[in-house]
């Protein structure tokens, strides 16, 4: 890959979502040197535990453990401390856990792990939020929860690309805006609802793009990664 592509892919977190261990190991080896971050999610962690983190750590520039912790403050603080001790660079918690839980997560990090607070999951639409008794403007809720996370000391938030522009205005860097729901033009949204292209998300102010299936499940993963690098570098 060209130098500009490599720089662009420094903003990519590659989601390692698979139930097959050989595929997981192969993805870590192939994608680890090529992208900024390898993301270990719930499926991999539930199947293989800390082994998944250790294998990703061997090849990754940085490791993102995406567990979306949501529990009482003392439990979350202990879980974050455990992740810190295993060399994780980023770890997710739920904004809905409230300010005390968010502050406890930050305390558990010891400054060594960037705590990312999840706002509203990208598969949730207006009907889903109504069923959860969370009606109203979803973007306003995201903005409020992002402010809550920032005040608690979190390093950033996870939000859909549709909320990035407003959040960037209210939360200047180095506060991180991490965006799943990234789909190139013409790529199926799968189970995501609030989506945008890589170029649009970066232009709005995103710091890190989370992409998984469009790359890992592609017939030609290397070609798909090259295309994504071009889109990220063109913004």
Instruction: Give the catalytic positions in this structure.
Output: 68
* Cβ–Cβ < 8 Å for 122, 194: yes
Q: Per the structure, how many domains does the chain have?
A: 1
CATH number of residue 137's parent domain: 3.20.20.70
Q: Mean pLDDT by 10-residue block, N- to C-terminus, for the chain (235 residues)?
A: 62 95 96 96 96 97 97 98 96 97 98 96 82 86 96 97 94 96 63 73 96 91 91 76
**How high is the pLDDT of residue 235?**
57
78 vs 88: CA distance, rounded Å = 14
**How high is the pLDDT of residue 91?**
98
Going by C-alpha positions, the residue among 71, 67, 70 that lies closest to residue 90 is 67
**How high is the pLDDT of residue 185?**
58
User: pTM higher than 0.75 for the full model?
Assistant: yes
206 vs 24: CA distance, rounded Å = 27
**How high is the pLDDT of residue 121?**
80
* Cβ–Cβ < 8 Å for 105, 130: no
* Element containing residue 49 per DSSP (H, E): none
Structural domain that includes position 212: 3-233
């Amino acid at each position: 890959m060209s130098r500009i592509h490599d720089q662009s892919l420094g903003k990519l977190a590659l989601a390692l979502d698979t139930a097959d261990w050989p595929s997981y190991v192969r993805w870590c080896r192939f994608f680890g040197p090529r992208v900024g971050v390898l993301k270990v999610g719930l499926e991999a962690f539930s199947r293989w535990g800390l082994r998944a983190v250790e294998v990703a750590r061997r090849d990754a520039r940085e490791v993102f453990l995406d567990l979306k912790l949501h529990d009482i403050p003392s439990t979350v603080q202990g879980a974050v401390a455990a992740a810190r001790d295993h060399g994780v660079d980023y770890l997710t918690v739920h904004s809905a856990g409230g300010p005390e839980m968010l502050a406890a997560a930050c305390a558990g990090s010891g400054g060594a792990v960037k705590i990312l607070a999840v706002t509203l999951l990208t598969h949730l639409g207006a009907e889903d939020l109504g069923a959860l008794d969370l009606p109203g403007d979803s973007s306003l809720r995201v903005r409020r929860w992002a402010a809550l996370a920032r005040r608690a000391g979190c390093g950033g938030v996870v939000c859909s690309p549709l909320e990035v522009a407003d959040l960037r205005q209210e939360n200047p860097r180095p506060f991180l805006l991490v965006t799943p729901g990234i789909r190139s033009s013409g790529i199926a949204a799968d189970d995501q609802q609030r989506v945008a292209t890589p170029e649009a998300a970066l232009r709005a102010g995103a710091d890190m793009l989370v992409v998984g299936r469009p790359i890992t499940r592609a017939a030609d993963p290397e070609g798909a990664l090259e295309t994504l690098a071009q889109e990220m570098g063109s913004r």
